[in-house]
Chain A
Amino acid sequence: MKRNAILFSILVILLLTAFFCDLFVGNAHISIRETWAALWGSSGDTITDEIVRNYRMPKALTSILAGASLSVAGLLMQTLFRNPLAGPDVLGVSAGAGLGVALLTMLNGSFLYPIISTLGSMAQVIAAIAGAALTLLLILFVSSRINDSITILVLGMIFGYVASAAVTILQSFADPDSLKVFVTWTFGSTSNVTWNKMPIMAGIVIIGILSSFFLQKNLNSLLLGEHYASTVGLNIKSIRIVLITITALVTGTITAFTGPIAFVGVVIPHFARALFGTVNHRIVIPATLLSGGILMIICDIISQVTISNRTLPINAVTALFGAPMIIWIVLKRKKL
């Protein structure tokens, strides 16, 4: 118990340190003192204030929210499907969001333009949420008909493949400029979320994360197998629908605001279980939440590095720099 308390304290300290590092690091040369002044009052320069308060701050918060919520969503899916490879995108929700954005990008110059143009950059978010919502409805429909988690998992993946195929077809018809706009979205970006978009994203994601805390007991029962869980009085079908809805809501929202972010959701739950040496969700959920936030914010710091004046896409950084960190830990512990 004491060990857990120490580990949690370390994770919280790491998260806070990484958060402040993310605020201090960027492409504009702003000293730590200026950043600090801009955070709590004014640095005396409006552009510095703008960068720190309205650019770096929401970006750092988005990183934490994205990392934490995608990791928790991944954990829910791994527990529900009892599959170590499951992640937040197994339901095809990210691919559905991608299809929404692809459709919007390719249809933008069409008769729909007057509607799309009034939405500004929110059009992309709404298109992604609509795509994710549609996939969720399909999955819920399937879940109400089929009483086998593995079949639902396979169908979810098939939905994902169909959405990706539709995106590929749209891409092949697109003009080069629309294609570039779409491809840029697939790179992922934590800087898309401005303060006026933050309440919507944070609101949905925090509701999703909090509701997973209330499901700890049910999740622990699921670990023993669906058959056992149903004998102890768990309504498998209801809990499955609740878990799928939470995951789809969180993943769909994050993907809509930041673009797809791979890797974090699959790996962090394993890391959290290994770090605390338990599968008990009372420990694993907060551990996953904190570790996901930390990894994502470290990746955000790394993605500020410019190579030939270009910054790295966050979607690539998560796997490229996250993987060696995780492999190192696995090698040290000899197992996950």
Chain B
Amino acid sequence: MKRLQIKNNITALFFGIFVFLIIGCTGKQKSSNSSSESQPHSFTAIKYAKGFRIEHFDGYTRLTILNPWNNWTPYQTYNLYKTNGDKLPSEGTNLKIPLESIVVNTFAYFDFLEQLGQIDKITGITDGFRVYNPNILRRIAKDSIADLGDPFKMNLEKTLTLKPNAILTSAYAQRDQYSERLVQAGIPVIYNLEWMENSPLARAEWIKMIAVFFDKEADADRIFDQIEKRYLKVKEKVGGVEKKYSVMAGDNFQGTWYVPGGRSFNACLFRDANLNYYYEDDHNSGSIGLDIETILTQFGKADYWFGCTADSYEELNEKDPKYKLLKSVKDKHVFNNKNRVTPSGGNDFFESAIANPDLILSDFIKAVYPALLPQYHFTYIKPLKTDNAL
């Protein structure tokens, strides 16, 4: 009886600590709901992107990043002002623009900043060895851009000593402790959720989001209009063509084959390139993990394969002879994303393709309907090298 009591006491103590922890931790959180008494005098028109909005008030511009995991409620609000002394709302992050220096923890924005003429404002990046942008690489070599290491585990000390005006980082469903630490140290974090958009034009429209931080809104509108025009023009080329080819995507990674979900950026590109895709009616915006047997069943007869990781058909055969069962491999219609790469692992497909969706769409159309784009040369994708192995 006594023993049982000891055990119960210990259990009660442990749970007491646990409950204390939860209560102690939840009590300190600030409410993120924002309310404003004044009304904006104008909005920036956003045509495709769902993840942000820009409103203009007297004396400041408010950028709101919206939360895709929570019914597009505000994720973070920024009040951007040009002159000190302006009356700013008490809620949200107040930030003076234009920014003079920025640390960029996402490759997708290099080209946006380059097109806006602001690439020289970057003072720090992560994963320097995986960068493709020649301008950034040159500045890393000259030590005018610091490499802050792993994007998921940024070197905090180095970041703080750079004293950037702000840090641009990809946001995830889980708020990471690195961003919290930076905010605590007084460095504003700009959360980027462009990767959650599911159409190429929506992702490209995030140029408008980054442009407000550099007071380049008009330039961003003009650049995006051009991107949109070019994209729609390329898309139009396949408009009247009969939809008869099907496509397979992704590759095998340690036994699991990740293919894009039906609501993903890639699936949208396939639709716009007039290609049939097995998961086009699927509602997943991320990737779907499949095994090789499912791939053979669902994609065995697909005509084209994009996003292969091999360089040649010989390499493909060495990896797994089962690849030869795929129609796309038999027909030699396999493409990888390695047309613009650096020896250390940089790949422009993960950088400038976001800002140039017309080029990636042109790549797919050129691969499947070469006659429609006779003068065009592949930008990001490349056919696998042929040899005598197969």
Residues of A with Cβ closer than 8 Å to B? Answer: 26-29, 46-47, 50-51, 54-55, 104-105, 108-109, 113-114, 116-126, 129-130, 133, 136-137, 140, 144, 172-173, 175-178, 180-181, 184, 187, 189, 191-192, 194, 196, 200, 204, 235, 237-238, 241-242, 245, 249, 306, 308-311
Task: Determine if B157 and A28 form an interchain contact, defined as CB atoms under 8 angstroms apart.
Answer: yes
Instruction: Name B160's closest neighbour in chain A (CB-CB).
Output: A47
Cβ of B21 and Cβ of A129 under 8 Å apart? yes
Instruction: Let me know if B72 is at the binding interface, CB within 8 A.
Output: no
Interface pair A245/B181, CB less than 8 Å apart: no
In whole angstroms, how far apart are the Cα atoms of A242 and B125 in the complex? 50
User: Are B157 and A121 in contact (CB-based, < 8 A)?
Assistant: no
Task: Name the CB-closest residue of B to A189.
Answer: B153
Is there an interface contact between A308 and B129, defined as CB atoms closer than 8 Å? yes
Contact A133 B176 (CB under 8 A): no
Q: Give chain B residues whose Cβ lies under 8 Å from the Cβ of A184.
A: 150, 152-153
Q: Please state if B174 and A104 are interface contacts (CB–CB under 8 Å).
A: yes
Is B158 in the interface zone, CB < 8 Å from A?
yes
Do the beta carbons of B155 and A46 come within 8 Å of each other? no
Stretch from B3-11, B77-85, B230-238, B240-248 forming part of the interface with A: B3-11
Query: Which residues from A are CB-within-8-Å of B21?
Result: 125-126, 129, 200
Assembled-state Cα–Cα distance A46/B163 (Å): 10
CB distance from A18 to the nearest CB of B (A): 19
Interface residues of B (CB under 8 A from A): 2-4, 6-7, 10-11, 13-15, 17-18, 21-22, 24-26, 28-29, 67, 69-70, 128-129, 147-150, 152-153, 155-158, 160-161, 163, 172-177, 180-181, 184-186, 256, 258, 286-287, 289
Do the beta carbons of A180 and B152 come within 8 Å of each other? Answer: yes
CB atoms of A55 and B157 under 8 A apart: yes
Q: 13 pairs across A/B with beta carbons < 8 Å?
A: A28-B158, A55-B157, A55-B160, A55-B181, A113-B70, A117-B67, A121-B175, A121-B180, A126-B21, A181-B172, A181-B176, A184-B153, A241-B6
6 closest A-B pairs by beta carbon, nearest first, are A108-B173, A28-B157, A122-B25, A121-B177, A309-B147, A27-B157
Do A55 and B289 touch (CB < 8 A)?
no
Q: State in angstroms the CA–CA spacing of A187 and B28 once bound together.
A: 28
In the bound complex, how far is the Cα of B20 from the Cα of A204, in angstroms?
11
Q: Does B174 lie within 8 Å of A124, measured CB to CB? A: yes
| Chain A residues with CB below 8 A from B2, complex form | 238
Least distance between B165 CB and chain A CB atoms (Å): 13
Contact A109 B69 (CB under 8 A): yes
B277 to chain A, nearest CB (A): 19
CB distance from A38 to the nearest CB of B (A): 13
With A117-B70, A129-B18, A181-B176: A47-B153 Cβ-Cβ less than 8 Å: no
- Contact partners of A118 in chain B: CB under 8 A: 26, 29
Residue of A nearest to B180 (CB): A121
CA distance A92 to B319 in the complex (A): 38
Contact B289 A173 (CB under 8 A): yes
Q: How far is the CB of A9 from chain B (nearest CB, A)?
A: 33
Closest chain B residue to A120, Cβ basis: B175
Q: Are A309 and B161 in contact (CB under 8 A)?
A: no
Are A26's CB and B157's CB within 8 A? yes
Closest residue of B by beta carbon distance from A113: B69
Looking at B7, B147, B161, B174, the one whose CB has the most chain A CB atoms below 10 A away is B174
In the docked arrangement, what's the CA distance between A200 and B16, Å? 13
B22 adjacent to A306 (CB under 8 Å): no
Q: Which residue of A is nearest B6, CB measured? A: A238
B174 engages A133 (CB within 8 Å): no
With A and B bound together, what is the CA distance between A119 and B25 in angstroms? 7
Instruction: Identify the closest chain A residue to B156 (Cβ).
Output: A55
Nearest residue in B to A203 (C-beta to C-beta)? Answer: B17
By a CB distance below 8 angstroms, the chain A residues around B286 are 175
Q: Are A133 and B15 also in contact (CB < 8 A) when A122-B25, A173-B289, A309-B149 are?
A: yes
CB distance A194 to B25 under 8 Å? no
Contacts of A121 in B (CB 8 A): 174-177, 180
- Decide: A311 near B185, CB < 8 A? Known: A121-B175, A175-B286, A204-B17: no
Q: Are B17 and A249 in contact, CB atoms less than 8 angstroms apart?
A: yes
**How far is A130 from B12 in the complex, measured between Cα atoms in Å?**
14
Chain B residues near A187: list those with CB within 8 A.
153
A residues near B17, Cβ cutoff 8 Å: 204, 249
Using CB atoms, name the residue of chain A closest to B151: A180
Contact, CB under 8 Å: A29 / B177: no
Q: In the complex, what residues of A have CB within 8 A of residue B163's CB?
A: 47
B321 vs chain A, min Cβ distance (A): 24
User: With contacts A184-B152, A191-B156, A235-B3 known, what are 9 further pairs, Cβ within 8 A?
Assistant: A27-B155, A27-B157, A28-B161, A108-B174, A117-B173, A125-B25, A133-B15, A180-B152, A181-B176
Of the candidates B2, B70, B149, B163, the one having the most CB atoms from chain A within 10 angstroms of its own CB is: B149
Residue of A nearest to B69 (CB): A113
* Residue of A47, A113, A241 touching B7 (CB-CB under 8 A): A241
Q: Which residues of A contact B7 (CB under 8 A)?
A: 140, 144, 241
Chain B residues closer than 8 Å to A177, beta-carbon distance? 172
Candidates A50, A120, A129; contact of B160 at CB < 8 Å: A50
Q: How far is the CB of A175 from chain B (nearest CB, A)?
A: 5
- Which A-chain residue is minimally distant from B174 (CB atoms)? A108
Give CA–CA (A95, B308) in the complex, Å.
36
Q: Are B10 and A306 in contact (CB under 8 A)?
A: no
B149 neighbours in A (Cβ, 8 Å): 306, 309-311
Q: Tell me, in angstroms, the Cα distance from A241 to B155 when the chains sit together.
A: 42
Residues of A within 8 A of B185 (CB): 47, 50, 54
- Nearest-CB distance from B75 to chain A (Å)? 9
User: Min CB distance, B250 to chain A, in Å?
Assistant: 11
Determine if B152 and A181 form an interchain contact, defined as CB atoms under 8 angstroms apart: yes
Q: B24: which A residues are within 8 A, CB to CB?
A: 200
B17, B148, B150, B157, most chain A CB atoms within 10 A: B157
CB distance from A224 to the nearest CB of B (A): 22
Known: A47-B161, A175-B286, A194-B181. A241 touches B186 (CB 8 A): no
The answer on a CB contact under 8 Å between B128 and A245 is no
- Asked if A123 and B158 make an inter-chain contact with CB atoms under 8 angstroms apart, the answer reads no
How distant is the Cα of A204 from the Cα of B286 in the complex, in angstroms?
A: 40
Asked whether, in the complex, the Cβ of B153 is within 8 Å of the Cβ of A28, the reply is no
